[in-house]
Amino acid sequence: MPTPNGATAARKRRRKAPWRDRQGRFSALKAAALALCLAPGATVAFWLVTGDLGGRPIKAALLWIGLWTVRFIMIALAVTPLATVLNWPRLLLLRRMAGVTAGAYALAHLTLYTVDQNLRLGLVAAEILHRFYLTIGFVALLGLAALTVTSTDAAVRRMGKGWGRLHLLAYPIGALALLHYFIQSKANVSEPVFLAGLYAWLMLWRLTPKAWRGSWALYPALALATAGAAAGIEFAWYALATGIDPWRVLAADETLRFGLRPAHWAGLAALALLLPALARRPRRRREPGGFARGLTPAEGE
């Protein structure tokens, strides 16, 4: 028969399972999110096994995992704004999962890079020191590692107010990850521009006074600013880092003759938030201190 201590430990372990909520109940939302977090890694592992990754499979896998690292950083940053706009605090349960996934993928990305360099650790270290985009990537990775190891409930309790300050690092980490992505993408920067637009939206939303966030009118304004920021970042990239005329790129952004461009997509993605802002779900009761019921700061804001 289990001792009372053994039973408590077993209950705690059950609660920690990523598909359970804090009360230890199965959560379909968390289980679905977990499956989505694992999907890119499982997909690339499958391609590696079936030989579907072309002539340099490790390089292809490292690119794929790098792409999903930056996407998960953005997803983790987007959870709090989305939970607010949708008025759906349970979404905050997923923030820690998205952040930890980004950390794990970043580590896998570095590991694949090391394997691609035939495990020559000295060479990897020298490359990180000498190539600017790798240095930036490495700093972002160190930052993500710090956030990942402090994402436990015990770390939140131990660090008190310092926890929130440390986790604000997620924003500069996002900027470094995007810069790393831009530099290695060279001339085709469609997805980095789109993600940079979404990042601009996240920053602007953060800077918006809390009282305005409930107003639907904020969201078209933010969408316009998002499209403008993405177009501006794209212009600056072409002006500073390529030999391509940035004015021609900007001219393409001002018309729909060339189809929808990354800045348009970023603006449209931001505009989509107008719908939930107009049809907000009824408010759920919140714990004193502003957290949704049963959430810790690692999960809530």
Binding site for ligand HEM (CB under 6 A): 62-63, 66-67, 69-70, 106, 109-110, 113, 128, 134, 137-138, 140-141, 144, 177, 180-181, 184-185
Whose Cβ is closer to ligand HEM: residue 191's or residue 301's?
191
Q: What is the Cα–Cα distance from 47 to 31, expressed in whole angstroms?
A: 24
CB of 294 to ligand HEM, least distance (A): 30
CA nearest 37: which of 83, 86, 76, 89?
A: 76
CB of 35 to ligand HEM, least distance (A): 22
SS3 292: strand
DSSP states of 61-86 as a string?
A: HHHHHHHHHHHHHHHHHHHHHHHHHT
Q: What is the Cα–Cα distance from 74 to 101, expressed in whole angstroms?
A: 12
Whose Cβ is closer to ligand HEM: residue 77's or residue 292's?
77
CB of 177 to ligand HEM, least distance (A): 4
CB of 236 to ligand HEM, least distance (A): 19
Largest CA distance in the chain: 75
Q: Please tell me the total number of residues recorded for the chain in this structure.
A: 301
SS3 17: coil
- Under 8 Å between Cβ of 107 and 72: no
Tokens 């792409």 -> residue:
67
CB of 5 to ligand HEM, least distance (A): 40
Whose Cβ is closer to ligand HEM: residue 67's or residue 204's?
67
- Under 8 Å between Cβ of 141 and 94: no
Q: What is the Cα–Cα distance from 292 to 287, expressed in whole angstroms?
A: 6
- List residues bridging with 26 in a β-sheet: 20
Q: What is the Cα–Cα distance from 297 to 80, expressed in whole angstroms?
A: 11
CB of 159 to ligand HEM, least distance (A): 22
Whose Cβ is closer to ligand HEM: residue 114's or residue 152's?
114
Whose Cβ is closer to ligand HEM: residue 97's or residue 218's?
97
CB of 221 to ligand HEM, least distance (A): 29
CA nearest 291: which of 80, 21, 96, 12?
A: 80
Tokens 């980004």 -> residue:
102
Whose Cβ is closer to ligand HEM: residue 87's or residue 111's?
111
CB of 168 to ligand HEM, least distance (A): 16
Q: What is the Cα–Cα distance from 279 to 236, expressed in whole angstroms?
A: 37
Whose Cβ is closer to ligand HEM: residue 97's or residue 128's?
128
Whose Cβ is closer to ligand HEM: residue 181's or residue 199's?
181
Token digits for 108?
Answer: 């896998």
